[in-house]
């Protein structure tokens, strides 16, 4: 006789009706769609629009940057560089264009325009990596314009404000030149002597030593010229006496015509 299942034998649970399960999922999905579907669809649409807008903006910026870079490399005159810098002052290439304009003005001996361009650079891009070069360019332009007092002040201010700058020796040499040109030989000598004592590079020390030797010769020449007595002007030559006019020759008497 076959063994009958005892109460201790576990019974396998009957599977759930798939139709009932599917209908429950469908009902839940429909409920979610009715409550959140429309806002979710709108949010997705907005996200897509924003994404497309950002991509378009990035493409525009990339194209504009490429065009600006191309224009920078094709510019030839300082006016062209200046125009690029003024048309789009916020473009990444604008500082390079303005610095190039200033340098080209200077190289063409157009020192007033170079001075204006360098000053505009420091006002527009005070934190740019080329700002220190532009500040030194202001001093150099003043020196070239023979405005030596202002040039010396600008060079000295740069040197005092940028003690660790690689441009410091150029500022010190410029200050010494401007002092000497302004007749302030003691100030110029002090700058050269400080450079010799503290300059970090042998090249800077050599430049200062050469400048100091030239300064001493220039000062001796200026002192000798100031000490020399002024030459007395040569006396004016007396006018030569006028020659006496020779007496007029007496006219010979006319011969009388013979009577017929």
Contact 179, 159 (CB under 8 A): no
Instruction: Report pLDDT digits (tens) over 194-250.
Output: 999 998 799 999 999 999 999 999 989 888 888 877 666 666 666 655 555 455 555
User: Is the domain of 89 the same as that of 137?
Assistant: yes
At residue 40, the pLDDT reads: 41
User: Is the domain of 55 the same as that of 132?
Assistant: yes
For the chain, first and last CA: distance in Å?
Answer: 218
Contact 229, 216 (CB under 8 A): no
User: Is the domain of 92 the same as that of 165?
Assistant: no
At residue 259, the pLDDT reads: 47
User: Is the domain of 177 the same as that of 136?
Assistant: no
Domain, as residue range, for 88? 40-145
Instruction: Report pLDDT digits (tens) over 6-36.
Output: 444 444 444 444 444 445 555 554 554 455 4
How many Å apart are CA 48 and CA 41, to the nearest integer? Answer: 11
The CATH number of the domain holding residue 46 is 1.25.40.10
**Predicted structure pTM score:** 0.61
């Amino acid at each position: 006789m076959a063994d009958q299942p005892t109460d201790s034998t576990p019974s396998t649970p009957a599977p759930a009706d798939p139709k009932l399960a599917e209908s429950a999922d469908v009902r839940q999905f429909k409920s979610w769609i009715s409550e959140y579907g429309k806002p979710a669809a709108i949010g997705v649409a907005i996200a897509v629009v924003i994404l497309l807008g950002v991509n378009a903006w990035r493409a525009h910026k990339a194209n504009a940057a490429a065009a600006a870079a191309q224009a920078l490399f094709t510019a030839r005159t300082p006016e062209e560089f200046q125009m690029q810098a003024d048309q789009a002052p916020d473009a990444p290439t604008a500082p390079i264009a303005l610095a190039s304009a200033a340098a080209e003005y200077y190289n063409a001996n157009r020192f007033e325009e170079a001075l204006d361009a360098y000053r505009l650079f420091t006002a527009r891009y005070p934190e740019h990596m080329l700002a220190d070069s532009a500040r030194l360019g202001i001093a150099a332009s003043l020196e070239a314009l023979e405005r030596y007092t202002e040039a010396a002040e600008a060079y000295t201010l740069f040197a005092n404000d940028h003690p660790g700058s690689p441009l410091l020796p150029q500022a010190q040499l410029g200050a010494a030149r401007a002092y000497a040109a302004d007749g302030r030989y003691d100030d110029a000598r002090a700058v050269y002597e400080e450079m010799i004592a503290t300059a970090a590079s042998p090249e800077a020390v050599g430049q200062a030593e050469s400048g100091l030797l030239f300064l001493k010769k220039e000062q001796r020449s200026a002192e000798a010229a100031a000490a020399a007595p002024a030459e007395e002007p040569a006396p004016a030559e007396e006018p030569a006496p006028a020659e006496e006019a020779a007496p007029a020759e007496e006219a010979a008497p006319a011969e009388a015509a013979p009577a017929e």
